[in-house]
Structure 1
C-alpha cells in the first residue's frame, strides 16, 4: 500500500477550493470544519486541501503543526476514504493549541464522512 502524500492527493488550485466551498456541504466537528464534494466519475482517490487563517491561530508554528497533523491523519486513512475532495479548516480558536485533540477531531470527521447517511423518512 502506498502511503505517501503525493500531489495527486492535494487540492492545489483556487478553482478546486472554490468548487468544494461552492458545493456547500460540510461537517462540523468540535474544532474543525470539513467541507466536501464528491469527485467526478473515474476518480477513485480522495484529495485534501487545508485552510488555516491567522485570525484563529496567530503563530505560524501552530498553523504549520495543525497542517502536519491533519495531513498525516489523512495520509494514513486515505485508502479507506470515499472519492471526495475535502477541505479542512479551523472553525474555533483553540487555546492552548493541542495537536492530539485536533487529530482526534479530524479522525471523527472522517468517520462521519465515511459512514453511510440514512435518508430522513418523509412524514
Structure 2
C-alpha cells in the first residue's frame, strides 16, 4: 500500500468542494461532519477534502494536527472505501485535541458511510 496522500486522492478545486456541499448528504459524528457525494462513472477511487476553520480552532498548529490525523486514517482505509468525494470538517469545537478521539470519530463516520442505508417504510 502506498505511504503517500497522492494528489489524485484529494479534492483541490473550489468547484469540487462546492459540488460535494451542494449534493447535501452528510453524516455527523461527535466532533466531525462527513459530507459525501458518489463519484461519476469510471472513477473508482475516493477523494478527500478537509475544512478546518479558524472559528473553531484558533491555532494553525491545532488545525494542521486535525488535518494530519484525518488524512492518515483516510490513507490507511482508502482501499476499503466506496468511490466517493468526501469532505471532512470540524462540527464542534473540541475541548481538548485528542488524536485518538478524532481518529476514532472519523473511522466511525467511514463505517457508517460504507453501511447500506436501511429503507424507511412510510
Q: Deviations over 1:29-51 (max 9, x none)?
A: 00000000000000000000000
Q: Where do 1:1-123 residues align within 5 Å?
A: 1-121=1-121, 123=122
Task: Tell me how many residue pairs correspond in the alignment.
Answer: 122
Residue-by-residue CA offset, 1:82-119 (whole Å, 9 max, x unaligned): 00000000010011211111110000000000111111
- Calculate the aligned-residue CA RMSD, in Å: 0.9
Listed as ranges, the gaps of 5+ residues in structure 1 are: none
The alignment partner of 1:82 has SS state of coil
TM-score of the superposition, structure 1-length normalised?
Answer: 0.96
SS state of the match for residue 22, structure 2? helix
Partner Cα distance (1:111, 1:68) in 2: 20
Match of 1:93, SS state, is: coil
- Between the aligned partners of 1:2 and 1:93, the Cα distance in structure 2 is 32
Secondary structure of the structure 2 residue equivalent to 1:67: helix
